[in-house]
Each structure stands twice: as C-alpha cells, then as structure tokens.
Amino acid sequence: MSSFGKVAVLFGGTSAEREVSLNSGSRVLAALQGQGIDAHAFDPATQTLDDLKGYDRAFIALHGRHGEDGTIQGALEFMHIPYTGSGVLASALAMDKFRTKLMWQAAGLPVPEYALLTADSDFAEIEEQLGLPLFVKPAREGSSIGVTKVKEPGALKAAYAEAARHDSLVIAEKGVMGGEYTVGIVGDEVLPIIKIVPATEWYDYEAKYNRDDTKYLCPCGLPEAKEMEIRKGALEAFRILGGRGWGRVDFLMDEAGNHYYLEVNTAPGMTDHSLVPMAARVAGMEYPALVRRVLELAAND
C-alpha cells in the first residue's frame, strides 16, 4: 500500500458542481483510507496549491470548471505530481462539448446534429433546421447545469439566454430520443453499457443526483453485436481526445437504432448514484477496487 505514498484526494472546488464533487470525493477518500492508503482530503476552494507540496499522488474527484478542464491538471504537471484521469489537453477538449464534436466529426464518428448559438442567431431558423425537441447547453458545464429541453416553437431564444448565464459558448443539439446510455472506461477495459431511464422527462440534474426513481439498466438490452460496436467506438472516441486513465463516454440512440456519441467525462462521478461504479460492479469490480485501480493509473505527462 505504501507504494502510493501520500495521496491528495482533490474534491469540492469552486465550480457549479461543488456539491456533487464533495459527495464523490468523500466516498473516494473513505475507500482509499479503508485500504490503508495514506490519503488526505484537499479542497482547492479552501487550500492553496502550495499546500500540495509533499504529496506523491493526486486523485482528482473535482467536477466542472477548474477541476476537469485542464486547469488543476496543469498545476499538478507543473508540480510533478502524478494524478488520476486525463492530461491537460484531453481534459480541456472533453470539457468543451463544441470542440469535442468537431474532433469526432473529423474522425468520422457519429454525433447529433447541432448548431453554435450567439445572441445574434436566427433562432427560428435553427429550430427549423434541427427540429423539435432540441436541447440547449452551455458548452463547458456538466451535470446538466443550464440545459433546457426546447419543445415549443419560439422557445429557443429564452433557452439560449439561460445557458448563456453559465457560459459564453452555447450549443443547440437535435433531440435524439431513442434512449440515453453511457460507457465507462478504466485503463484499457471498456465496462458494460448502462441504459439510463429517468422518471423525469429527461436525465436532468434532479434525475442524476436527487431522485431514487431513475432506472439504470445493465445489461442495457442492446443486441450483443451492437453493444460491442458501440463499446469499441466509445474507446476510440475517448482516445481521439487523448483520454487516459479512466473516463465515461455518453451516447444516444435514435428510434431507428442508430447511435450518436454525445460527450466525454474525464472525471466521472463517484457518488452512490454514479455510473462508472455501477458498471464496474457488474463487471466484477467493487467500489474499493475501482478506486484503487484508478489511483494505480495516475500519470504525469
């Protein structure tokens, strides 16, 4: 156990996802300490980077800006502290849903049709182009923060204004309504796919973190050949962005059975509602073993 040295578990932070991160990080910390690992809580909102001196490794359980967008990764690089998850560039790209789509499109991977929005956009034309329903999102937020499902003609402008409160970069995305799924990745292992069935109209913040009636199906019910095709593509999608260590790739299905890759999470949640621990358990890896494996994969570019 001592081979890990002194481990900082980074959680909390200053992003809109602070509460989720506190939940994730406290569970990670307990799991590491329960295995005899010299792990300590570290909250960048209340501690300075100087306080990281003397740590041998970092487990990043921060979510959102400054935690999974390459910012803290760059600081750890500078301090020569190995850390969990993807490096600076992959973290920054994955946090930006717009540039993620550009990368995937260039590589020939399927993504939902989308449009970049500004205050001067022709909202009626975009509604016509993408069709309804559509989703409006801040491009660099997570946990469905600032996301609106647009169902009625003329509602896109207000949805843009809501998303723009959270980010200057806003995208509208065609609604792909045949089901929402996710694929966890740990090292070179692609975990079983989970199908997400919210009791709410869509998988919003409430359904993700505060409700107990969201259903998670694993096995996901897809034909085996289709599941293997998507899992292979998910690993490719992760690696195109430069992903390493661990992560999660979300995708959507349409009613005709076509899949579309949605986004990558390079610092997935580790709460009691979180998806990577759920899939890992189905694959035979309990929570403490998962946390230890992620820590083992810590690297420094």
Name the active-site residue from 27, 269, 274, 287.
269
Which segments of the chain are extended strands (E)?
Answer: 7-10, 39-42, 57-60, 114-117, 134-138, 148-150, 170-174, 180-186, 189-190, 194-197, 215-217, 246-253, 259-265
Name the active-site residue from 12, 17, 69, 70.
17
Per-residue pLDDT, 204: 67
Per-residue pLDDT, 17: 84
> Catalytic site residue 203?
no
Name the active-site residue from 83, 114, 209, 260.
209
Q: Are 7 and 39 in contact (CB under 8 A)?
A: yes
Name the active-site residue from 43, 265, 274, 287.
265
Looking at this protein, which amino acid is placed at residue 195? K
> Catalytic site residue 83?
no
| DSSP-derived 3-state class of residue 293 | helix
Determine the Cα–Cα distance for residues 257 and 98; give it in Å rounded to an integer. Answer: 24
> Catalytic site residue 25?
no
Determine the Cα–Cα distance for residues 141 and 15; give it in Å rounded to an integer. Answer: 9
Per-residue pLDDT, 103: 97
Determine the Cα–Cα distance for residues 207 and 85; give it in Å rounded to an integer. Answer: 25
> Catalytic site residue 248?
yes
Cα torsion 224, 228, 234, 237 to 10°: value is -140
Could you tell me the strand order of the sheet in which 7-10 lies? 39-42, 7-10, 57-60
Report the DSSP beta bridge partners of residue 251.
181, 261
Cα–Cα distances (Å) from 171 to 96, 121, 157, in that order, read: 10, 11, 12
Name the active-site residue from 248, 260, 261, 274.
248
- Note down pLDDT in tens along the chain; length 301 residues: 468 999 999 999 998 889 989 999 999 999 999 999 999 999 999 999 999 999 999 999 999 888 999 999 999 999 999 999 999 999 999 999 999 999 999 999 999 999 999 999 999 999 999 999 999 999 988 767 889 999 999 999 999 999 999 999 999 999 999 999 999 999 999 999 999 998 777 676 676 666 678 899 999 999 999 999 999 999 999 999 999 999 999 999 999 999 999 999 999 999 878 999 999 999 999 999 999 999 999 998 6
Determine the Cα–Cα distance for residues 198 and 216; give it in Å rounded to an integer. Answer: 8
Per-residue pLDDT, 202: 64
Name the active-site residue from 143, 173, 205, 287.
143
> Catalytic site residue 224?
no
> Catalytic site residue 143?
yes
Name the active-site residue from 175, 263, 274, 287.
263
